Chain A
């Protein structure tokens, strides 16, 4: 305790043993009393702070609901600063920041929350949204998954979990990740209660490449409510996806009977009619008509591919012309049934090539072509 270079030997303390004992007893008593005092003080402080934080949070929520983001942020921030134990305050602050168009700040707020508890479902959910807003959907998926399986608290637990699942599903649908999408949809199939939810899930099954499941769900809806025009349209979409265009047309006719003025149904009918008119695989067609339709399909596919590939490179476009001319010429020199097959094969090859390069550039007018290509692919 002493500096040996300055004072080599310290004298014994002048206090006697009894004074020593008394002093230490007083100190220990003070420690015990202070510990009790501090503990009580902390309890009082936490109770008061938590109450104020909750008040601030509620104010923030009402401002947020009213679209007053600046005020909401101020109150959420105050709540988050006052009470760090409730991550919901910080998550709400991040949510408001995101709504204000400041995803980077929202991410900064959420990361420490997740460092404390990596399984916090709300923080994961919000960070996933932030990452989507920042254009990082692949990173967002894992946070959505944690949010879906996380332990949500409160009465809205299931609603939040489902919301997280739907957002992930939408993300997967946009990115064309069909297997993942299907795995997320399957648990929802039986959970969905309302017709609108079931219709939505059924529609997503089509996107996930499971039109059969979609059909089942639509039929179940129609069994309960045969006058549900939307379900008829959905069923028709699912049937279109299976390549059964004529059956889809019949289902759309049924829908039109329920809702004769519905423009969506009419547009779908027009689409289906054009698909039926283009489809080389329609039953009852003469071999010449099948050949003509297969050639037309090749031309349409090339045109669709060029629309996308021209954007990227003229060299690729020229190469595409050269290859398809050669293929069409060779198909012309073989018997018609074989020519039809080869044309369909060419069209399929070009479509797939286009698909890998131009997945994000589907043109609105190419819906019919897409349906026929999907049928050929099946």
Chain B
């Protein structure tokens, strides 16, 4: 950017700006405020435009054919736009935001953010059964990233602006400022103590204020206050947690399974794939109109007990299918809103049965729908704290909080046991992205990049052990990286190579040694042991213990086969301040002191 003169700007303003530029804390404060306001206003526009467009496409009293045709045509147009102009606007936006934070140095192009706005608004208005919160998060993060880059902040600073924009967007999209902060920290950053906490809170509050200034003070759902009718009801809420957990797992597995199938199709069919979601939604919508769109009006109905048991069961099943298909086929939209829809229906179904069986000692189905929303969200998104606070903020009803916590934790536990990765992690993994899992950051901890060293010249799978032994030479590394033409394939123990070189079955290749060694790897979560540079050193130590390798490759999150360095036990101990002078020089093992 060329330097410009400031001919007519008062000196005082120039001094203020210069002060802002030089003092990071003031800059953070100013950016939190402007990003909060800007993102809040953009999200408000996004919500209203989507709603208005939907009202035009589906006028009251409109004919039934619209429910079939509009999702199909809509997904076709959206598919083309996504394929031709905005390829990064596909899907939810939350995994993409995380990828931008952890892989792309905070880079989200303004074009992608604008594309997300346009395509998602059109997709949701056409009735595709997805949510608006994930896309709004991406749009907010994209705006924050663009501002950061325009100010030519450091990569690290731009990276930390993304959660600020994301929180502001979620706060405005869902009218839940506290849950937006928690979700950003819990799900996007994976760290409730992230250093951006102050900025995230400020941006969320600013966006919320903007939302209220423009749209007024209305909770997302108008719900009557519920309370616990009898203590025994807690058992039914616990049962709801169990059901919610299983439904959440079923939904996530179905979505991932379908998406896996779609990812196998040739890339040239990408523009057509969203139509599969459009057809599914259209056919379901023809018979069950409530399945169309985000469906918050239906959620409000069920929260007020205004649906019969048969309908809520049907809607839960239909929404699971419609959302899974819509998302898996590559439409633009999130699963945040549909999770709440599915949860509300499941909750109302459990509550409806309970109320039929024990009318005197249970609340109506609406109370269970409320708790079900939280349970399903905790099970699907796996952000239990966000879930509890979000339900409280959405309904502004404190009295149901204890049953909500019980059901949430049970659903979360079941989901965790049956589906190890969260849905956003799994979606990123399907795209080949290794994003950090859960709350992986330790406060004031040490990170892998603090002990990173350049990798040695790697071995290849076809290499004979004699050649490999020569390459290893007298290095103190206990494990050695092996690469093929596509990149890293794993680590081989130096002792195994040396043993093979001196054994009777020569000539043996590195691939053969690796094949034998692989059976011994206990960590089934990865194809080969590795760490990322932004992971804690403690995790590297744990992984070394699990795998038996005293050296691990450090790989890129963007591509796990791209080795960026290596980390050894000695390096880790050194980083922790352990005296490594009393180590065996040959292989870096600590000396056991007597």
Contacts and interface: CB of A to CB of B under 8 A. Distances in A.
Interface of A: 1-7, 10-24, 27-28, 30-31, 34-35, 37-39, 41-42, 44-45, 48-49, 52, 55-56, 77-78, 81, 84, 90, 97, 104-105, 107-109, 111-113, 115
A109 B25 CA distance: 48
B305 interface: yes
Contacts of A77: 301, 306
Interface in B131-164: 147, 150-154, 156-157, 160-161
A102 B352 CA distance: 15
B521 interface: no
Interface string B41-71: 1101100110110010001100000000000
B151 A23 contact: yes
A41 B121 CA distance: 15
A165 B446 CA distance: 74
Contacts of A22: 4
Given A23-B150, A97-B306, 12 more contacts: A10-B157, A13-B152, A13-B153, A17-B17, A30-B38, A34-B38, A34-B45, A35-B41, A77-B301, A109-B224, A112-B223, A112-B224
Contacts of A10: 24, 153-154, 156-157
A89 to B, nearest CB: 12
A23 B150 CA distance: 7
Contacts of B195: 1-4
Nearest to A107: B224
Given A22-B4, A104-B364, A111 B224 contact: yes
A81 B41 contact: no
Contact of B156 (A7, A109, A112): A7
Dominant SS at the B interface? helix
Nearest to A52: B60
Given A2-B160, A27-B34, A84-B218, A18 B5 contact: yes
A44 B6 CA distance: 40
A222 to B, nearest CB: 51
Given A108-B224, A108-B364, A112-B224, A45 B51 contact: yes
Interface in B11-39: 13-14, 17-18, 20-22, 24-25, 27-28, 30-31, 34, 37-38
Contact of B27 (A1, A31, A107): A1
B545 interface: no
12 contacts: A6-B534, A10-B24, A12-B21, A14-B153, A15-B152, A16-B1, A17-B6, A20-B17, A24-B17, A78-B60, A108-B366, A109-B304
B586 interface: no
Contact of A31 (B18, B37, B157): B37
A252 B231 CA distance: 63
Nearest to B153: A13
B215 interface: yes
A291 to B, nearest CB: 55
Interface string B506-534: 00000000000000000000000000001
Contact of B199 (A1, A30, A104): A1
B301 A21 contact: no
Nearest to A75: B60
Contacts of A78: 60
Nearest to A97: B306
B9 interface: yes
Contacts of A27: 34, 38, 147
Contacts of B13: 21
Nearest to B226: A108
B400 to A, nearest CB: 14
B300 interface: yes
B208 interface: no
B297 interface: yes
B537 to A, nearest CB: 11
Contact of B4 (A19, A84, A112): A19
B33 to A, nearest CB: 10
B48 A45 contact: yes
A41 B45 contact: yes
B88 interface: no
B196 interface: yes
B21 A17 contact: yes
A34 B35 CA distance: 13
A5 B446 contact: yes
Contacts of B4: 16, 18-19, 22
B555 to A, nearest CB: 18
B222 interface: yes
Given A3-B156, A23-B151, A15 B21 contact: yes
Contact of B9 (A7, A21, A84): A21
B225 interface: yes
A329 to B, nearest CB: 50
Contact of B3 (A1, A3, A11, A18): A18
Nearest to B148: A13
B102 interface: no
Contacts of A56: 60
A109 B306 contact: yes
Contact of A13 (B21, B34, B160, B223): B21
B235 to A, nearest CB: 23
A23 B146 CA distance: 11
Contact of A38 (B60, B152, B153, B214): B214
Interface string B273-301: 00000000000000000000000010011
B6 A14 contact: no
A75 to B, nearest CB: 8
B447 to A, nearest CB: 6
Contacts of A105: 304-306
B48 A38 contact: yes
A32 to B, nearest CB: 10
Nearest to A26: B150
Contact of A104 (B27, B225, B305): B305
Given A14-B152, A104-B305, A21 B222 contact: no
A20 B153 CA distance: 10
A19 B27 contact: no
B444 interface: yes
Contacts of A1: 24-25, 27-28, 31, 157, 160-161, 195-196, 199
Contacts of A90: 222
B577 interface: no
A18 B6 contact: yes
A108 B226 CA distance: 10
A127 to B, nearest CB: 11
A206 to B, nearest CB: 40
A15 B42 CA distance: 25
Contacts of A111: 224-225
A24 B18 CA distance: 12
Contact of B304 (A84, A108, A115): A108
A37 B60 contact: no
Contact of A24 (B34, B55, B222): B34
A49 B152 CA distance: 43
A11 B155 CA distance: 10
Contacts of A18: 3-6
Contact of B41 (A16, A38, A52): A38
B445 interface: yes
A13 B392 CA distance: 40
A11 to B, nearest CB: 5
Contacts of B24: 1-2, 10
Nearest to A116: B222
Residue of B45, B60, B194, B364 ringed by the most chain A CB atoms within 10 A: B60
B391 to A, nearest CB: 16
Nearest to A17: B18
Given A5-B446, A45-B48, A52-B55, A81 B300 contact: yes
Contacts of B301: 77
Residue of A15, A18, A28, A112 ringed by the most chain B CB atoms within 10 A: A112
Contact of A21 (B17, B22, B449): B17
Contact of A35 (B151, B160, B214): B214
A20 B151 contact: yes
B41 A19 contact: no
